[in-house]
Amino acid sequence: MIKCVLFDMDGTLSNTLDDLKVALNYTLNKLGLPLRSSAEVLSYVGNGIDALVRRGLPENAKDRFCEALPIFKEYYKNHLTDYTRPYDGVNETIDTLKSMGIKVGIISNKLQAPLEDIVHSFWGDKIDAVCGITDYYPPKPSPDMVYICLDKMGVKLEDAIYVGDSLVDVQTANNAMAHFVACSWGFSTKEALIGAGATEIIDNPLQVLDYIK
């Protein structure tokens, strides 16, 4: 019996791409470096801000990472939701899950503080547990975040499903041996998700409710 749904954030609950792109290009512009397109930024996301900034730097400027990262962080923390919005159907899905007594957790490779700010901005206190990157456990695709988030909610792994959009989410679910449901509306194509091993794919957030019995 499903008692909890774990969601990824970027590309699953909310479309954060434009704010990430603006923050990265702000950083690159400050350093006098060429800007990145939406398609390029999309290919950089999934492994956290450090990886995004490192991948966004040109090959001949990788040594400027320590200069670039604080610029990105300072800008992004003040512009978390300029363009970011939940995907259509997400708010209704969360409200319905809560009305059914199903717990909702979020696991993300965003830093914990900005992740909590975004969650509070869109969903207030509707989310039961929020786990982002901290110094205390490794990021996805390590399974630790899955276990810690479930432990915070008092839910067993076998009583939860994990919904995500990226190849990192597929890997994380495999590492955690979690029941994974991929979503096709996010940052990865359906073909890429299938190629990574996803076997259950939904095309609308409300289809999550089909798994609650």
**Is residue 46 scored above 90 in pLDDT?**
no
For 60, how many CA atoms within 13 A lie in the half-sphere containing its CB?
3
| Full-model pTM | 0.93
- The set of residues, in sequence order, having a beta carbon less than 8 Å from that of 168 and lying 6+ positions away, is 46, 47, 109, 140, 141
Interval 114-153: pLDDT, tens: 999 999 999 999 999 999 999 888 999 999 999 999 999 9
Taking every pair of C-alpha atoms in the chain, what is the biggest distance, in angstroms? Answer: 55
- Domains of the chain (ranges, CATH numbers): 4-15+85-211 (3.40.50.1000), 17-77 (1.10.150)
As beta bridge partners, residue 164 has 182
Of residues 76, 85, 87, the one with CA closest to residue 111: 76
> What's the mean pLDDT in 75-91?
97
| Pairing status of strand 14-15 against strand 85-86 | antiparallel
